[in-house]
Structure 1
Amino acid sequence: MPNQQGNPNDPRSEVSKKKDHIARGDYTPTHVGKATFFLLRGIEPLLQYSILARGLGTSLIHRVGLRTLPPGLPAHSGVSLIDGLGLSPYRLILLGMAVGAAVKQNIWVTALSGEPMPVGGAVAVGILNAVFNSISTYAFLLTATSASTETEFPQPALLIGSSLYVVGILTELVAEIQRKRFKANPNNKGKAYTGGLWSYARHINYGGYTLWRAGYAMVGGGYTLGALVGAFFAWDFTNRAIPVLNEYCEKRYGAAWEKFKKDTPYKLLPFIY
C-alpha cells in the first residue's frame, strides 16, 4: 500500500487513508512499481492459457474425485495466431477476457494513473487478478460448475456474461480517459470532473469494474458465480472504496462536490445504486 502519511494533498483521517489503495493527491513517480505492475499483468494471461490449454492444476482436481470438461474442438478462424493456440471457441473467449483485462489495466497504469504504484501494491494487484481470473477459469473446467453445460454454442451465460464484460470494461476505460483529459487541462486544476460518463454515476469507473468482473465470472462459472463475484466487488466498493474516496472529495472540492452529489445521486451504477 502507498504510504500516505504526511501527504499535504490528502486531508482525510488516517483511518480512511489506510483503507484506500491509492495515495490521493500524490503524484510521486514510481517507475519500478509501475513496471512491476505492467509485467505481472502482461504475463498473467499465460497462466490462464496454461490452465485452459494444458490443464494446469487439473491433476489435483481429478485426485479429489472431480471431473473436468474435455478440451473440445479447436477453433478454425483462419487466423494462424488464434488457431495455433489450439483452444475451443469458448476457451478462446475466456482467454480473450484475461488478455483484455490485462491490456486495459496496463493502459491505466502507464497512461491514465498519475498516483504512485509501489512494488508491494503492484504485486497485490497481480495476485488479485490472477486469483479471480483463475476462479473463473477453473469454474469453467469443472463439470459441476461450468457455464458450458449445453451442446449448442454460444450458451446464454456466455452471451450475457460477455455483454457485461464488454460494457463494463469499456465503461471503466472510457470514463478514465475522460477524466484524464479533463485533469490534463491546466484550467481545470483543483476541480472535480463531473462530465461524460461520470455524470451518470459518481464512481462510474468502479461500476464498470464490477460489471466486467461479474461478466467474466459468469462466462466461466455461470449465473451463480457471476452474481457472487459481482456482489463481492459491489460490497467492497460501497463499503470501503466509495466512502473513503467520498471523504477525500468532500474535503478537497467542498461545495462543488456537494453539488455533484445532488446532481448525480447514483454512486456506482446509473439508475441502480
Structure 2
Amino acid sequence: MSAEGNSKDPRSEASKKPDLIARGDYTPTPAGKATFFVLRGIEPFLQYSILAHGLGTSTLHRLGLRTLPQGLAAHTGISLIDGLGLSPYRLVLLGMAVGAAVKQNIWVSALSGEPMPVGGAVAVGAFNALFNSLNTYAFLLTATSASVESDFPQPSLLIGSSLYVVGIATELVAEIQRKRFKSDPKNKGKVYTEGLWQFARHINYGGYTLWRAGYAIASGGYMLGAVVGAFFFFDFATRAVPILNEYCEKRYGPAWQKFKQDTPYRLIPYIY
C-alpha cells in the first residue's frame, strides 16, 4: 500500500519483524534488485537441465529410484522450441518455470517500490529454485510423477495448467492495477479497492497460491498440489495477511475498515 519512508509504517518493531517486506520504505536498492532479476532469470535453465539432461537423477538412481524416459521430442515447427528436445509435457513444465521467472522479474523491476537487499534477493532466488526443482523431480520420478499415461495432454496437466494460468494472471494483473492507482498523486493515502481487489483484499496472494498449486499438480499430481497449495495458503492466512492487515488498519484507519466490510474475502473470492 502507498506510503513514504520508514516513518510511514506505524507498527511496532515487534510487529514489523515477521513481515518480509519493508512497508513504507522506498529506499532504492539497485544491487539487490539486479541480483533478484539475474537469479530469477537463470533459474529456468536449472529446470531445463533437469528436464532435458537429467541433472541430479544419477543420485536418485543410486538410491534405487526410477525416473521417466525422455519421451518423444515435440515438433512445433518453431526451431527455438524444437531445439530444446523436450517432450510436450516437459515443455509445459519448463514454460511454467519461465512464466514464473518473467512474472516475478516484472514485479521486482516495474511494480515493487520496496527495497530488495542482496541477501533477500538470494534467499528468494534459492526458495524458487528449491520449490521449482522439487516440482521437476516429482515429475521425473515414476513413483510420484503426474504423468501416468502416454497420452498428451493428461487430466492433471490440464487442471494444473489451468490453475497456473489463472493464478499467475490474477497475481500480475492485480499488481499492475494497484501500481497504476498508487502512481497517481491524487490517490496518495487512499486504499485501492477496485479492479480485482474488489473480490478479495489480498487477491495477489490468492493468485500466487493458485499458480503454485497448479504447478505442483502438473508436476507431481493432486496430492503434491494439495500439499503445496495448503502450505502457501496456511502461510498467507496465518502470517502474511494478519501482519499486512495490521499495517493497513494503522495506516488507513476507517477506510480500511470499510474495505473489509465491503470485501469480506481475504485471499480467494467466495472461499476465504
Whether these two folds match at TM > 0.5 is yes
How far, CA to CA, are the matches of 1:15 and 1:65 in structure 2?
48
Residue by residue over 1:199-228, the C-alpha shift from the partner in whole angstroms, topping out at 9 and shown as x without a partner, is 000000000000000000110000000000
How far, CA to CA, are the matches of 1:73 and 1:237 in structure 2?
40
Equivalent position of 2:221 in the other structure: 222
Following TM superposition, where does structure 1 have runs of at least 4 consecutive aligned residues deviating by more than 6 angstroms?
none
Question: Does residue 1:260 correspond to 2:259, yes or no?
Answer: yes
Query: Structure 1: which amino acid aligns with 2:65?
Result: L
Runs of at least 5 residues in structure 1 that lack an aligned partner in the other structure: 1-5
TM-score by length of 2: 0.98
How far, CA to CA, are the matches of 1:230 and 1:12 in structure 2?
29
How far, CA to CA, are the matches of 1:166 and 1:24 in structure 2?
28
Equivalent position of 2:155 in the other structure: 156
Equivalent position of 1:3 in the other structure: none
Q: 3-state DSSP class of the match of 2:218?
A: helix
Equivalent position of 2:141 in the other structure: 142
How far, CA to CA, are the matches of 1:12 and 1:247 in structure 2?
8
Query: Structure 1: which amino acid aligns with 2:256?
Result: W
How far, CA to CA, are the matches of 2:13 and 2:27 in structure 1?
19
Runs of at least 5 residues in structure 2 that lack an aligned partner in the other structure: none
TM-score by length of 1: 0.97
Report the Cα offset of residue 15 of structure 1: 2.1
How far, CA to CA, are the matches of 2:266 and 2:169 in structure 1?
18
Residue by residue over 1:5-50, the C-alpha shift from the partner in whole angstroms, topping out at 9 and shown as x without a partner, is x921111122221111110011000000000000000000000000
How far, CA to CA, are the matches of 2:29 and 2:135 in structure 1?
31
Report the Cα offset of residue 151 of structure 1: 2.0
How far, CA to CA, are the matches of 2:109 and 2:41 in structure 1?
12
Q: How does 1:1-273 map to 2 (within 5 A)?
A: 7-273=6-272
What number of residue pairs does the alignment pair up? 268
RMSD value over aligned CA atoms?
0.8
Aligned residues with identical type, % of pairs: 80
How far, CA to CA, are the matches of 1:135 and 1:256 in structure 2?
42
